[in-house]
Chains A and B, each alone.
Chain A
Amino acid sequence: MLGAADRARGIREPVRMSPSRSTTARRGRLGPGELAEAVVLADVSLALTVLGQVVPLGSALLIAAVVPLAVVAARHRLRAVITGTIAASAVGFLVIGSAAFTSMGACAALGALVGAADRRNWTRRRTMVVGLAVLWPATAVLVDLILLAFANLRRLTLDQVRNGWRGFFHVLRNLGLVRVARPGEHLLTWIVREWWLSVPITLFVLLWFGIWLAIGLSTPALRRVRGAFGAAVVEDEPPDTAEASTEPEPVPVALRDVRYRYPNAHTDALAGITLEVQPAELVAIVGSNGSGKSTLARLLAGRRAPSSGDLIRPGAVGLGREGGTAIVSQRPEAQVLGVRVRDDVVWGMPEPARVDVDAFLERVGLREFADRETSTLSGGELQRLAIAAALARAPKLLISDESTAMVDATGRAQLVTLFDDLAHRDRLALVHVTHRAAEAAVADRTITLAGGRIVDVPARLRSEDRITTSEHRDAVHIGGPLITLEGVGHVYSRKTPWSNRALSDVDLTIREGEAIVVVGHNGSGKSTLAWILSGLLTPSEGSARLDGKPIFDQVGRVGLSFQHARLQLLRPTVLDEVRSAGGVGDAEAHVALKAVGLDPFRFASRRVDELSGGQMRRVVIAGVLASQPRAIVLDEPFAGLDADGRAELDALLTDLRRRGELTLVIVSHDRDLPEGLVDRIVELEAGRIMRDEPLEDARPGPHS
C-alpha cells in the first residue's frame, strides 16, 4: 500500500527501455500471448486434421497439420505446445472421437521436434537422427503396450489388415502374378504373427517419412512467419509487482510532455503530449490513421510506458481489474472470449458467481441476449457486450480505442449515446478515440492529434463520413446486361436441423459498366450474394449467369475482394502476389500496381506483411484488376478506413471506372458510401431485395 505522501505525489511510470524477453526463456504459467498463439495454432492444426479425415488425399493435410504446431514450438516453450495440443484434442474428441488424441499427439510430437530444430538451426540430417532417436523408441514402446493391453482390439484390427491384403493377393494370383503374391503372403503372415516387432518397424518407416515431410513443409512456413513477426514472440512485460499490489486508481491521469517511440522505430509515435483526464469527463481523441491516437490509448491503458516525460496517476492502472481501467477496441469479434454472452461478461473475473450479469447486459441494452452464443451477434452488439464486460469490473476509466470504426451507423449512434451516459451519469472518466470528428459532439473536450502531436484545431465538425468529389464521371458507358440472377435463393446446410435460408427469390441484373451497392445488416444475405456473384457458391435455387453462362463454371471471371484483405494475399511479396492473382507477368503487374496508386518501384519487392491495411486492400484490387475480370465485387471496402483512406479509395475506384468499362458491385453494411460512387442501390433484408433503385447522382453522369 501507498502512504499518504506517496498518494499525494502520485505514482510515476518508470521510464523503461522495454526490456522484453523472448518467451522461449520463460518459466511458470503461460502468459496471454503464449496461450493465445498456442490455442489458435493448435486449432488450425485440428481443423486441418478434421479435413484430413474427410477429404480425398487427406493424408497430405494430416502432415500439413504439423506445421502450425511446429510454429508454436519454434516461438514458444514446450509447455505452450502441450497446452495447445490438449485443448485441440479435447475439442477434436467431440468432432472425430478418440482419433483426435492420436492424430493431435502425433502432430505435437513432430511439431515440437521440427520447431526445436528450427530454433537451434539444426541440419535436416541432425533433426532426422535426433527425432528418430527420441520419438521412435518412445512411440514404439507406447504402441506395443497399448496393443498388449487391448488384445482383442489388436486381434480384430490385425485380422482386418490380413483379410484385406489376402483378398488383394488373391486377386493378384488370379491375374497370374503368383510371383508377387506368394512372397507377399509370407510377409503378411509374419507381420501379423510378430506384430510386436512389425508394428514398431512400420512406425519407424512412418516416422522417417513423417519427419522428412514435416521438415520440408514447415521450414518455408517458419521462414515466412519469422519474416512477418521476428524470431520469437516478445510480450509486453507482465505488470510489475508494484502495479499488481497497488490499489487501482487510474484517474485523474496527467501526461506532461510525454514522448513515445516504438522499439526499432526511427521516428516518435507521440511527442510533446500534455493532457489531463478527470473523472466524469468524456474526452474525445480525434485523428486520422497514423496520427498516434491508438498509441496514446495504449499509454493511458498502461500497456506501454512513455519513452520520456511523466505520466502521473494516483494509483495503479489496474487494466481489467475491479475499479481500474477498461478498454474496448476496434475489432468487435476479436475481443470476445466467451462462447455464450453470459460467460463473456465475466470471463477472467475471480468470482463470476457474484456478478449480476443481467444488470450489466440491461445497461447496454442486451438483456435478452444473455444465453445466445456470441458468434450470433452483430458488430455493434458485440461492442456493447464488450462494454458490459468492462462495466462488470466497475472501471474508473473506460477507453474506447476506435470502438466505433467497424460498426454501422445505427450501432455507432447507440455506442456514442452510451458513452455520453456513462461519463455524465455514472461519472466514469471516458476516453473515446475515433477518426470521425462528428462523434466528438457529445464530448466535453476534444483533443486533435496529427503526426503524433496535439494540434490546435477546434473540432471541425465537417461531415467526414460523406465525401463529395467534384469530379465528372462523363466517360462511364453503361452497356447491356452482364450478370443476371433469376429467382436465386440459397439455403445453407439443407436438410439438416441447422438448415438456414440466406437468400430467397433474388432477381438482379447488373449491366456492363454499372456500379451498384448492396446494403444490408449482418445476416441479410449480402455476403452469400457476393459469393454467388463471384461463382464461389452455387445457389441452391434459381440461376446466376455471367454472359449467359452459369457463373460457377467461370470462377475467376468475376473478381472478389474480401473484407479481410490479408486472407487474400497468398504470396510473400507484392509483385509475386499481383502476378499470381492476375495470372500475368511483371509488366502487367506493374501496370496494375500503378492503377491502384502504388508505385511499382517502391512496392514491388515489399513483403505483404509490412503493408498497412489500406495498402493490403489496394494490392488485392491490383491483383483482381490484373486478371481482367468482367466485374469486380468488393466486400466492405471502406470498413475501418479513416476519412483520408476513404477519399483515396473512392478516388481510385472512380478513376478506374472512368478509364475502363469496369463493372462494380460494392457490398456494405454501411450506407455512408462516398456520394456519387455508385449508380444504383440494392437493399437486402432477411435474404430478400427490399429496394432496387438508381441513386440520384451527385456527380453529373452521362444520363442525368
Chain B
Amino acid sequence: MSRAETLTPEREPKVRRETELTFLRLVPGTSPVHRLWAGTKLLIAAELALMLSIAPTWPMVAVTATVVGLELLIARIPLGAFPRLPNWIFVFVVVSAALSLWSSEKPLADVGGITLSIGALNQWALFTSLAIVLVVSGALVGWTTPLGDVAPALEKLFRPLRWLRLPVDEWIIAIGLAIRCLPLLIEEIRIVAAARKLRADDDTPTRETPRAVFRQVLAETHDLMATAIVVSIRRARDLADAIVARGGLGAATSLPGARFGVTDALALVATTALCVVTLAVLHL
C-alpha cells in the first residue's frame, strides 16, 4: 500500500510522499498527557465525541478542538505524527466543497456573476472540522498510551457491566490479544499483498470481455482472502496452544499499573465542566 506507483521507467527514486498510517503507535515522551491513566484518556475522547454529537455547532467544535489542541501541545505531538493520507482524499474533500458552493443554502454571495452558497460552504466546513476533531481525539489516545495499558484500563471502565452479568473478563482478554495480534496480522497481510505483486500479472490473455476480466478479478480476490484467512486460522491455533500452555484463559487480571490519580480527576472534571457549560450556555 505504501509504495507510490511509478510509471516512467527511467525515473530515479526521489523523495516521494508516501501514504503512512501512524495510528496505534506511541509517540515517545513523558508529558503529563502520557502519564494520565489510559481510562481517563478514553473517557475524554468518548466525552468529546458525545458532546459533538449532541451539539454539532461551531462553538462546540471550537471548545473540543481547544481541548484536543491543548492535549496535543502538552504531549508535544509533532506534526510528523499525523497520518499522511493519500491524495484522493483531498481531491474528494475539495470536490465536495465545490459542489456545496453550487447549492442554494443561504446566505448567497455574488462573485463575478456566479451565485455561490456561503451557507452551504459553512456547513461543509463545520462537518469537516467535526470529523477531524473526532478522529484526532481518538488517535491521541493511541499516540500517548502504551498499548499494554489499554486492556487493563478497559477492565476498570467495563466493571459496571459485570452487574449485568456480561462476560467482561472474556472481552478484556480478547481485547488484549487483539492488540497483541494486530501488528502480526498486518505484517502477514502486507506479505500476501507483496507475494501477489511479485507474480507475473495473470495467466490469461488480455483481450477478454469485461465480464471475463471481472470474473478474473473476483477469482483473484477469493484466492487472496482465502490465503489470508487460512494463514490467520493457523496463527490462531498457535495462539490457542500458547494459551493452553499457560494453563488456560484464567481471569482478566494484570499487573498493577498506572492508576486513577489526582491529575486524572482534574483532567476529567475540567473537560466535563467545559463541555457541560458550553452546552448549557449555547442550547438552553
Contacts and interface: CB of A to CB of B under 8 A. Distances in A.
Interface string A323-359: 0101101010111111110110011111111000100
Contacts of A339: 146-148, 151, 176, 179-180
Contact of A35 (B141, B148, B170, B182): B170
Nearest to A320: B247
Interface stretch (A216-224, A429-437, A445-453, A456-464): A216-224
Interface in A159-197: 159-160, 162-168, 170-171
Nearest to A337: B242
Contact of A67 (B148, B200, B229): B229
Contact of A321 (B13, B54, B247): B247
Given A97-B49, A570-B223, A584-B203, A160 B124 contact: yes
A33 B198 contact: no
A549 B10 contact: yes
B171 A47 contact: no
A153 interface: yes
Contacts of A220: 222, 226
Nearest to B223: A570
B194 A531 contact: yes
B44 interface: no
Interface stretch (B232-240, B258-266, B267-275): B232-240
A496 B80 contact: yes
B226 A327 contact: no
Contact of A40 (B124, B146, B236): B236
A581 B199 contact: yes
A236 B243 CA distance: 13
A79 B234 CA distance: 21
Interface string B186-216: 1011011011111111110000000000000
B251 interface: yes
A286 interface: no
B105 interface: yes
A335 B238 contact: yes
A538 B2 CA distance: 10
A583 interface: yes
Nearest to A71: B229
B218 to A, nearest CB: 8
B255 interface: yes
A68 B223 CA distance: 13
Given A40-B181, A94-B138, A160-B124, A167 B223 contact: no
Chief secondary structure at chain A's binding surface = helix
B134 A97 contact: yes
B137 interface: yes
Contact of A167 (B19, B120, B134): B120
Contact of A51 (B1, B12, B242): B1
A44 B186 CA distance: 8
A552 B10 CA distance: 11
A150 B55 CA distance: 8
Given A350-B253, A580-B199, A498 B25 contact: yes
A54 interface: yes
A518 interface: no
B22 A493 contact: yes
A164 B140 CA distance: 31
Given A156-B127, A567-B231, A43 B13 contact: no
Given A320-B248, A348-B246, A534-B198, A86 B3 contact: no
B101 to A, nearest CB: 7
Given A39-B181, A156-B127, A555 B147 contact: no
Contact of B24 (A38, A95, A352, A357): A95
Interface string A367-400: 0000001110000000000000100010000000
Interface in A24-70: 29-30, 32-33, 35-44, 46-47, 50-51, 54-56, 60, 64, 67-68
Contacts of B179: 91, 339
B180 A153 contact: no
A550 B6 CA distance: 11
A351 B236 CA distance: 26
B150 A347 contact: no
B231 to A, nearest CB: 6
A572 interface: yes
Contacts of A160: 100, 123-124, 127
Interface string A12-28: 00000000000000000
Interface residues of B, number: 133
A338 B176 CA distance: 8
Interface in A670-703: none
Contacts of A152: 54-57
A583 B202 contact: yes
B81 A36 contact: no
A347 B242 CA distance: 10
B277 interface: no
Chief secondary structure at chain B's binding surface = helix
Interface string A91-112: 1011111100000000000000
Contact of B225 (A98, A217, A498, A553): A217
A495 interface: yes
B139 A64 contact: no
A50 B80 CA distance: 20
Nearest to A544: B13
Contacts of B94: none
B239 A36 contact: yes
B253 A329 contact: no
B159 to A, nearest CB: 15
Interface stretch (A199-207, A306-314, A475-483, A558-566): A558-566
A319 B11 CA distance: 59
A555 B196 CA distance: 11
A225 B80 contact: no
A145 interface: no
B117 A163 contact: yes
B235 A47 contact: no
Nearest to B185: A43
Nearest to B22: A496
B230 A225 contact: yes
Contacts of B16: 538
Contact of B233 (A40, A98, A327, A555): A40
Nearest to A91: B178
Contacts of A329: 241-242, 245
A98 B173 CA distance: 21
A12 to B, nearest CB: 22
Contacts of B57: 152
A504 interface: no
A46 to B, nearest CB: 7
9 contacts: A33-B240, A39-B177, A41-B233, A46-B182, A54-B85, A96-B138, A159-B120, A538-B3, A585-B203
Given A47-B186, A51-B1, A536-B197, 19 more contacts: A39-B177, A44-B189, A54-B89, A67-B225, A83-B167, A94-B24, A98-B49, A98-B134, A153-B54, A162-B103, A216-B218, A224-B229, A349-B250, A352-B253, A552-B6, A553-B9, A555-B197, A556-B198, A560-B194
Which 6 residue pairs are nearest across A and B when measured between Cβ atoms?
Answer: A320-B247, A583-B200, A167-B99, A167-B102, A334-B238, A87-B174
